[in-house]
Amino acid sequence: MNTKNIEKTVQQEITQKNIGDIINALQNTTIISVSYFEKTFHQLPTPQSCTFDDYIIHFSSAGTVWCGGVPGPAYISKKKGTNIEQICPITHILSNYLAQIAQERYKKVKNSEKH
């Protein structure tokens, strides 16, 4: 899938699930926490989850040959008091897209804290 198709697919999913405000919040947050998958033979150390504002995004794990190439589940949740409620599942394509944004934001926030 080329970049244009990925962007189109991502935008369609964001629109269909009505999560544009959450994506906008992720892109503009100044407070973010990101945890990473532990690097193994089958998994790269990619973002596992991120927390910002009242949201939590659980990213897809890598789809590997031994599991038939199926990436793990991904979803967006929101903290409500002491509870966490799932807002919606997301595809691995949107998950990968959001993981890149989260990683970029996290690095940017961490770098600004050093100065």
Mean pLDDT of 70-82: 90
Task: Convert the pLDDT of each residue in 13-72 to its tens digit.
Answer: 999 999 999 999 999 988 889 999 888 777 778 899 999 999 999 999 876 656 666 788
pLDDT at 111: 83
Residue with tokens 């973002």: 47
Q: Tell me, what DSSP letter sits at residue 42?
A: S
Tell me what pLDDT residue 37 has.
Answer: 87
CA–CA dist 59, 73 (Å, integer): 7
pLDDT band for position 104 (50/70/90)?
A: very high
- The Cα–Cα gap between 81 and 73 comes to 25
Stronger pLDDT, 3 or 32, i.e. the higher one: 32
Q: What is the mean pLDDT of residues 94-107?
A: 93
Average pLDDT over residues 66-82: 84
